[in-house]
Amino acid sequence: MAEVTLTIDGLQVTVAKGTTVLEAARQAGVFIPTFCHDPELTRFGACRMCIVEIPGMRNLPASCVTEAAEGMVVYTESEAVIEARKTILELMLANHPMDCLTCGKNGECSLQDYAYLYGVKTESFGGEKHAYPLENDNPFIVRDMNKCILCGKCVRACAEIQGKNIVDFAYRGFDAKITPAMDVPLSASECVFCGNCVAVCPVGALQEKGLRSAARTWEVKKVKTTCPYCGTGCSFELNVKDNKVVGVTSCDGDVNGRALCVKGRFGYGFIHHPDRLTNPLIKKNGKFVESSWEEAIGLVAAKLSAIKANYGPDSLAVLSSARCTNEENYLMQKFTRAVLGTNSIDHCARL
Amino acid sequence: MSYVSLTINGIKISVPKGTTVLDAARQARVFIPTFCHDPDIPRFGACRICVVEIPGMRNLPASCVTEATEGMEVFTESPAVVEARKTILELLLANHPQDCLTCEKNGDCRLQDYAFRYGVKESGFKGERKDYPLDDSNPYIIRDASKCILCGRCVRTCNAIPERSIIDFGYRGFATKIVTAMDTPLGESDCVYCGRCVTVCPVGALTWKPLAGKGRIWEMQKQEVTCTFCDSGCTFYVLSKNGKNIGVVPKAPGNGRPLCLKGRLGLELKYLDAPPAPHLKKDGEFVEVSWGEALGLQDIISKLNKD
Amino acid sequence: MTNSIKEIAGADFILAIGTNTTESHPIISLQVKKAKRNGATLVVADPRRTEIAELSDIHMQLKSGSDIALLNAMANVIIAEEIWNKEFVSTRTEDFEALKATVAKYTPEYAEGLTGIPADVIREVARGYAKANNATILYTMGITQHICGTHNVFAVANLAMLCGQIGKPSSGVNPLRGQNNVQGACDMGALPNVYTGYQAVTVEDNRGKFAKAWNVGELPAKPGLTVGEMMEAAAEGKVKGMYIMGENPVLSDPDAHHVVHSLEKLDFLVVQDIFLTETAALADVVLPAASFAEKDGTFSNTERRVQRVRKAIDPVGNARADWQIICDVATAMGYTMSYASASEIFDEIASLTPSYAGISYERLEQGGIQWPCPNSGHAGTMYLHKDKFVRGLGKFNPVEYIPPAEQPDNEFPFVLSTGRRHFHYHTGTMTQRTGTLEVHYGTEFLEINPADAAAINVTEGEMIKVKSRRGEVAVQARLTDIVPQGMVFTSFHFPEVAINKLTNSARDPVAKIPELKVCAVKIEKAS
């Protein structure tokens, strides 16, 4: 493969031809801020936050769409670059609600990160602000288009990851907005609420309804695990606060990358549902009565032992579970064969 | 010791006589928000965010100054309580800058925590706002009186050390403000920058100047260390971000002889990857000095250098 | 699956037969869409015009249960036009002549009569499949839940071997499994005839090996009962006690009335679950289990990838992890079963299971591993049958078309098929209690073609009664041309629309899988 060597902030970097300046910088461990860039999505070059200075080029080019060339010299934090980034942030903040106080994305917001990094404290450009109503009519996703910075990641994620093309840019200029066809709410569109747009949104425009109202981003512990629904085996992170699962977020799964479906991302509520069984139950006179573990286990052991003794091992049968872990299925068949003494174990693989 | 039994949100609990309802609730693991309450200097009753409903009492009493009595029934999140708390928060936010975006306390701010918890997104009260200049007249502490909610914890912790007692409430009504004597900037006062006040401030009114712009609270890891400069054994946190130690802050006001600037600076020198240069006040002005001079070790260092 | 999920994107021809991939396996469907964007041809065979059918280049809207006729006809075309993979067939397979003889009569014209698919379309699809560089076949329960389910799978495998579309990247036979750990439950020997890794109980050496490891004198040699046979035996009084862990056969199994009757006849039923399911309600003892968020373990997904499940929170209330409960019951019955952690159990599995031997929790920290993984230096296996099949040569098993067990007639004129919805899962035990999914999709309905609805004077949203020879349910009608005339469809997710009261428990004689995809029903107005 052909390679090119360039200098980024004084560091010599050799990369494959065709690599963007942004990717080259990241390979060299040099930080460049981005809003609209995503390694899994097509190059877009919309937000201009990733501009760099390259002597000889007419303007400050966006590093995410500029390919590295042999002998290129790049400055990622020159005075001109910093001034331009500050102006971009000021322009964005001129039309962004200042409500980090209660915003669910506070702490996981690129706009906030960069405003802090570049010390852009207040809006310098007064003027008209959007006043779109909050779209809050479905149980999964809250859309606040006042917070949208029009980076277009959601549009590309919907088209390129999910293949649904539900949302796109609509209107022009100040009125430009991300909308489903005919500017209806998501609930009235063909959206299947996979939430993959939410996973890529760099600001608070798209938020998981449950998670972002239950916890601040810095309060949650994230535990990577495997989805309990279908057989695809998607990985995700359970977000835990005060020993409660408050939400699910994407991580980089072997099978799914960051993509999840509506069940994986939003179907965790059963874990703390009031219907969960919390104590053993024993049926007495046709009614369930809560019992201790000792009593319940003792009764099960006694009954199974008695049936085995009276009618033989094959009078017992066990249904194991395609929902439980390998370890549990293994122990269940070990129990069935070694303790009960029968091979009558099955599960609902056929359903 | 005699005990009283009370019920908090339906949970029965027995506590020693004299315990406040707030402390009883915390023992029962029932959450009650507080701003002005300080376990070391309790019973101030200023901020009212800890109000609870106790049938038979005339108003919603502040739980931090109400003692538990036998048979008392307490509701900590009744509709009346929640409404009162929301109103308190709205009143506080009516006169508080909306700049969490870049505020150093973002992520570790009680006002923010409770606004989120009670869904107070903006104030319903519009009106005049404080517009005090930032006091960054010294190298250690930034005071932003515009963010102060007048809970008085800084005043009480400072006054707990008689020879310090640098700050107190000044002026009246809307103009009320935490001030040094004669309302001078901190740099012109007798403050010794022990930082007790910063450790107790529940909002962004008092922050660490050496940490300004260095990172958000959720990006940092904390490592607890004990200062060994004297026998008080004050505890500090060494803060790190991306594997680099970036700051030292006191854990709490400490007991006995609590906290001093020398201890903090010494720990900065010991732990930080790039410790900020120390400053000494000379003729009423802070000037940058060497570590030897700041720690009073100049003579020893020069002796060592001679050999 | 013979291949990995990500390999689907690399196929240039995809035949999706009997799989509603976009709804039942949304994340796998992303790979199908990716392949399509890369220029692949997508052919969908399904009686319903599902979302993935809408995406396809060719939708073969075959009659329910006519899969073998279609697949044999494809083989017929491929052999007749001499476009089969002669090298693969001669070096990797046997009994080709038998296949050739059997499919000879399945001309596309003959199959058109059985499947309803025009002969020319069958020819076009057959050519596309045979000539593709990498062709993959995806299927799910639309293939297997028939009385000829096993034969359907043979027909799929015959086609793949005939064209050499197996044993290489992005080419293979890929059943998409429906439950998070159905692969693992099979791998772990939760089946009546095998131990872990499909080691047969009938082989004396296997019994000896497990008896020694488990420290028991001897293990039963006779294969046990399948779930359907258990229900039969319970009804007959031969099975007297059952232990059910994490399953809800009252809703998931066919002919629900019969299942309830069987379970009620038991002397003793213990059910271990996270909710008081319709099945648990029949139990004598119910043991509260921990959910996936409350325990450590592993799941094996449809591409044989073993992945970690990690404990995020403590069990709710006094619930316990299933593995701990099993240990408690075994110990109380006099067999000491004690493990300090799930990891320790896994090590025992690895020591007894050649295909899992190289996997450990330590390795899984770096990511999932696809079995077979025979030793700790082995990276795992992306796709199966690379140089040889498990049995050596791939054997053609020619199969004949047979019609479904129950056909529509004058009294029961509609074919009822069942399946899944995008927003729900299985018996709904979890998805009906999320605070989100059931809010968005709260009631089930029956899909009926507008022409059929008009003929019996049923309107959109109207409550109707669906009756079969076994039972009836009331459900709202949804008029849609997703279903062809003569067919109705609904899911089994909703207890209030317990459609398995109607379904036919006629089973495939080999796999014992019930024919949930076809039964005859009639529709009546509710009032």
**Residue A302 to residue A235: CA distance in whole angstroms:** 41
Among the three residues A47, A77, A107, which one is the final residue of a domain in this structure? A77
Note whether residue A260 is domain-resident. yes
**Residue B84 to residue C318: CA distance in whole angstroms:** 37
pLDDT at residue A350 in the model = 66
Note whether residue A160 is domain-resident. no
Residue B304 has pLDDT above 90, yes or no: no
Across the A:C interface, residue pairs with CB atoms under 8 Å apart total 464
- A289 to chain C, any CB pair closer than 8 A? The answer is no
User: Considering only alpha carbons, which residue of chain A is nearest residue C367?
Assistant: A254
**Residue A165 to residue A160: CA distance in whole angstroms:** 8
CA-based nearest distance A257→chain C, Å: 10
**β-pairing verdict for C135-139 and C93-94:** unpaired
What domains does chain C contain, in order, with CATH numbers?
5-176 (3.40.228.10), 182-370 (3.40.50.740), 414-525 (2.40.40.20)
Region for residue B112 given its phi and psi (left: phi exceeds 0; alpha: psi -120 to 50; beta: otherwise): alpha
Judge whether C476 and C463 are in contact, CB under 8 Å.
Answer: yes
Query: Which candidate from A223, A255, A319 shows the least CB-CB separation from C247?
Result: A319
For residues B182, B188, B189 and B192, what is the CA-based torsion angle, rounded to 10 degrees?
Answer: 160
- DSSP of B3-43: EEEEEETTEEEEEETT-BHHHHHHHTT-----SS--TTS--
pLDDT at residue B307 in the model = 65
The structure tokens listed for B20 are 């406040």
Give me the domain span that covers residue A297: 281-346
CATH assignment of the domain containing A43:
3.10.20.740
User: Considering only alpha carbons, which residue of chain A is nearest residue C436?
Assistant: A139
- Which residues sit opposite A53 in a β-bridge? A75
pTM: 0.91
Region for residue B45 given its phi and psi (left: phi exceeds 0; alpha: psi -120 to 50; beta: otherwise): left
Cα–Cα nearest to B254, from B134, B176, B172, B164: B164
pLDDT at residue C526 in the model = 83
- The mean pLDDT value of chain C amounts to 93
Note whether residue A236 is domain-resident. yes
CATH assignment of the domain containing A248:
2.20.25.90
The structure tokens listed for C342 are 């799930």
**Residue C296 to residue C311: CA distance in whole angstroms:** 5
Note whether residue A140 is domain-resident. no
Note whether residue A309 is domain-resident. yes
For residue A298, give the 3-state DSSP assignment: helix
Tell me which residues of chain A, numbers 22 to 81, contact chain C at a CB-CB cutoff of 8 Å.
none
Residue B217 has pLDDT above 70, yes or no: yes
My answer on whether A11 and A64 are in the same domain is yes
- Which residues sit opposite A289 in a β-bridge? A282
Query: Which candidate from B101, B107, B121 shows the least CB-CB separation from A218?
Result: B107
What's the pLDDT tens digit per position in C355-396? 999 999 999 999 999 999 999 999 999 988 888 888 889 899
My answer on whether A8 and A72 are in the same domain is yes
Among the three residues A230, A257, A274, which one is the final residue of a domain in this structure? A274
Q: Describe the crossing of helices C256-265 and C227-235 by its angle, rounded to 10 degrees.
A: 60
Among the three residues A28, A47, A77, which one is the final residue of a domain in this structure? A77
C403 by Cβ neighbours in 10 Å (0-12 / 13-18 / 19+) ranks as: middle
How far, in Å, are A36, A258, C40, C129 from residue A157 at the CA level? 11, 10, 21, 31
The structure tokens listed for C471 are 């039972």
Residue A268 has pLDDT above 70, yes or no: yes
pLDDT at residue B125 in the model = 86
**Residue B69 to residue B56: CA distance in whole angstroms:** 12
State the average pLDDT over residues A278-289: 95
Three state DSSP letters for C195-241: CHHHCECCCHHHHHHHHHHHCCCCCCCCCCCCHHHHHHHHHCCCCCE
Note whether residue A126 is domain-resident. no
CA-based nearest distance A309→chain C, Å: 12
In one letter, which amino acid is C320? Answer: R
What's the pLDDT tens digit per position in A102-161? 999 999 999 999 999 999 987 678 788 899 999 999 999 999 999 999 999 999 999 999
Note whether residue A25 is domain-resident. yes
The reply to whether residue C192 touches residue A254, judged by beta carbons under 8 angstroms, is no
CA-based nearest distance A319→chain C, Å: 5
**Residue A286 to residue B145: CA distance in whole angstroms:** 68
DSSP state of C139: E
**β-pairing verdict for A3-8 and A73-74:** parallel
Mutation for testing the B interface, residue in A92, A98, A102 having most B CBs under 10 Å:
A102
My answer on whether A322 and A266 are in the same domain is no
What's the pLDDT tens digit per position in B70-115? 999 999 999 999 999 999 999 999 999 989 999 999 999 999 999 9
The structure tokens listed for C230 are 């258990």
Note whether residue A302 is domain-resident. yes
Query: Which candidate from B99, B115, B217 shows the least CB-CB separation from A102?
Result: B115
Report the run of H or E that residue A15 belongs to, with start and end. strand A11-16
Domain count, chain A: 3
- DSSP of B35-47: SS--TTS-----S
- Which residues sit opposite B6 in a β-bridge? B13
Region for residue C50 given its phi and psi (left: phi exceeds 0; alpha: psi -120 to 50; beta: otherwise): beta
pLDDT per position in chain C (527 positions), as tens?
A: 899 999 999 999 999 999 999 999 999 999 999 999 999 999 999 999 999 999 999 999 999 999 999 999 999 999 999 999 999 999 999 999 999 999 999 999 999 999 999 999 999 999 999 999 999 999 999 899 998 989 999 999 999 999 999 999 999 999 998 889 999 999 999 999 999 999 999 999 999 999 999 999 999 999 999 998 999 999 999 999 999 999 988 887 777 888 999 999 999 999 999 999 999 999 999 999 999 999 999 999 999 999 999 999 999 999 999 999 999 999 999 999 999 999 999 999 999 999 999 999 999 999 999 999 999 999 999 988 888 888 889 899 999 999 998 999 999 999 999 999 999 998 888 999 999 999 999 999 999 999 999 999 999 999 999 999 999 999 999 999 999 999 999 998 988 888 888 888 888 888 888 888 999 999 998 87
The reply to whether residue A350 touches residue C144, judged by beta carbons under 8 angstroms, is yes
The reply to whether residue B99 touches residue A99, judged by beta carbons under 8 angstroms, is no
Tell me which residues of chain A, numbers 217 to 236, contact chain C at a CB-CB cutoff of 8 Å.
221, 223-235
